[in-house]
A = this chain, B = another copy of it.
Amino acid sequence: MIRICLILFTNIIFLAPSIGQDEAALFVKEIYDHTLNKGQCDKWLSFLSDTIGGRLTGSENAKTAVNYTYGIMSDLPVLDKVWKQPCIVPKWIRGDAEEVTIAWSGGQKSSLDALSLGNSIGTGPAGIQGSVIEVHGLDTLKIMGPQLLKDKIVFFNRPMDPTRQSTGHAYGEAVDQRVHGAARASAEGAAAVLVRSVTLLQDDLPHTGVQSYVPGVKPIPSLAISTNAANKLSALLQDNKVTAHIKNNPQVLDSVHSHNVIGEIKGSEFPDEIILIGGHLDSWDVGGGAHDDGAGCVHALQVIQTLQDLGYRSRRTIRCVMFMNEENGLGGGKAYARASNAAGEYHLAAIESDSGGFTPRGFGCSAHPSVFKPFLANLQKFDEFLEPYDLYLKAGGGGADINPLKSQKGLLIGFKPDNSRYFDFHHTSADVMKNVNVRELRMGAAAITALVYLIDQNGL
C-alpha cells in the first residue's frame, strides 16, 4: 500500500515537464533511501563475482555473465527493450603452468609468486632460462641495447609512487612497464620479462593485466610477480648474479563472437537524447572481478531498478550497458560506438563506473573540445544537489568503454569512488565479494542514479 502511494506521488511530480529545486532534492533523497534500504546490487555482484567468478573475454564465464545480466534486465519491466549486441573479441587463455624460479650464488633457489600477463605467449614446455637484469623504465632499454639485454630476462621494478594523491595517477605512471615492457625489451634482444605488480600494497599477490606486442617485434613471455617477490629479487640482485627459469603455457587463440548487454528506457520527451550508464562485464580470470568491474555493472543495473521502483518516468532515453572486453581489447566499447554512430544516435551523457565499489567521491568529466567549455560552464547547477552527499562533478574523467563516443559531442563522465584500496585488489585473486563493502557499493549506485536523474530532468 505504501509502495503504491509512493509511485503515484512521484508520478504526479514528474509528469510536469520540469521540476522545482525542492522536488529534485526530495527525489534525490528518495533515490538514496531506496538504494540503501532495498538495493539488489550487492546480491547481483555476489553472484557475478563469487558464483560465476572471473569473466575473461571469450570464456564460458563471460558468456554466463552475459546471460545472467541479460536475465536481470529482462526482469526489469521498466526497460522498453533489452538486447545483446554482437562484438568480436580476442581470446586468450592462461594455461595451467606458471612458474618462476630464481637461482643465485651457491645454487640457492626460490620460486616467486607470478601470473602471466594478458595476451602473453608461453615459454614452451622447456621454459626459458636467463640472467636477470633489473631496470626501472622503458627508456633505459634502448640505452642498454642488445649488448646488455640479449637473451636476458628483463625485470621491470619501478614501483607506484605512494605520494600521488590519486592512486589512479600513480598506476598510470607505473603501468607502462607492464603494457609495453615485453615489446620494448624484445626489441633489444631480451628473452622474457618479469614485471613488478602494479600496486601500492606490499604483499604476495601477483597482479595480472594486459600487455601488448608490437607488429614486427618478436613476442616474448611476460609475467607479473608480486611486490614481495620483486623486492626479494631486487635485493638479491644487489650482490648476486641471479638467473631465472620461467615456464608458462598461455595461448592466444582466434577471436570469437561475444556480446554487450543493453537495456533501454525510451525517453518520454527527448527520446533522441541518450543518457548511458555502464560498466564492463569482462574481468581478468583470477579472482571474481568484483571491484573491476562487476561493481560498475551492478551500479548500472541498480540505477534502472531504483528508477523503476520509484515509478520514475524519464524525459530522456536511459540506456544501461554491460560492455564486453574492456580489459584486453575494447571490442565491446568499439562495437557499441560503431553501431551508435551508424544509427545516427546522440549520447547527451555517458557515465562509466570502472573504479570499484568504494565510497563515492564524485564524478569527473570530459568532452570533445568543441563542446566542453559550455558543458563546464553549466556543471555548477548540479552542486546544490550533489554537495549534501559529499559529491563533486568536475572536469577530468571518462571511461575506456565510453571514450569512443566522444565524436558524438556529449559529456563523458567517469564515476570516482575513493581510490585508496582499488589497486590493492585490482587484477588479483583477492578481487572478490568479501573485499566489497555493501554500504559503499550501494552508495555508489545511489550517487550515479542521482546524477542520471538530474541530467534527465535538467539536461546539461
Contacts and interface: CB of A to CB of B under 8 A. Distances in A.
B163 A33 contact: yes
Contacts of A389: 165
A36 B439 contact: no
Contacts of A33: 163
Nearest to A34: B163
A420 interface: yes
B163 A36 contact: yes
A25 interface: no
A451 to B, nearest CB: 16
Interface in A373-426: 388-390, 418, 420-421, 424
A424 to B, nearest CB: 8
A359 interface: yes
A309 to B, nearest CB: 14
A163 B443 contact: no
B421 A418 contact: no
A424 B439 CA distance: 11
Contacts of A390: 165, 361
Contact of A37 (B163, B420, B424, B439): B163
Interface string A12-44: 000000000000000000001100110000000
Nearest to A418: B359
B165 A32 contact: yes
Contact of A165 (B388, B424, B437): B388
A440 interface: yes
A145 interface: no
A359 B424 CA distance: 15
A390 B37 CA distance: 28
Contacts of A167: 439
A127 interface: no
A295 to B, nearest CB: 14
A284 to B, nearest CB: 22
Contact of A418 (B32, B37, B200, B418): B418
Interface string A225-267: 0000000000000000000000000000000000000000000
A162 interface: yes
Interface in A128-176: 162-163, 165, 167
Given A359-B359, A361-B390, A163 B32 contact: yes
A72 to B, nearest CB: 23
Contacts of A165: 32, 388-390
Contacts of A418: 359, 418
A199 to B, nearest CB: 11
Nearest to A392: B390
Contacts of A36: 162-163
A439 B389 CA distance: 24
Contacts of A162: 36-37, 439
Contacts of A361: 390
A348 to B, nearest CB: 27
A359 B443 CA distance: 16
Contacts of A440: 420-421
A135 to B, nearest CB: 22
A110 B228 CA distance: 46
A196 B43 CA distance: 25
A387 to B, nearest CB: 9
Nearest to A387: B392
A32 B418 CA distance: 17
A440 B421 CA distance: 9
B200 A439 contact: yes
Interface of A: 32-33, 36-37, 162-163, 165, 167, 200, 359, 361, 388-390, 418, 420-421, 424, 437, 439-440, 443
21 contacts: A32-B163, A32-B165, A33-B163, A36-B162, A37-B162, A37-B163, A165-B388, A165-B389, A165-B390, A167-B439, A200-B439, A359-B359, A359-B418, A359-B420, A418-B418, A420-B437, A420-B439, A420-B443, A421-B437, A421-B440, A424-B437
Given A200-B439, A359-B420, 4 more contacts: A32-B165, A33-B163, A165-B388, A421-B440
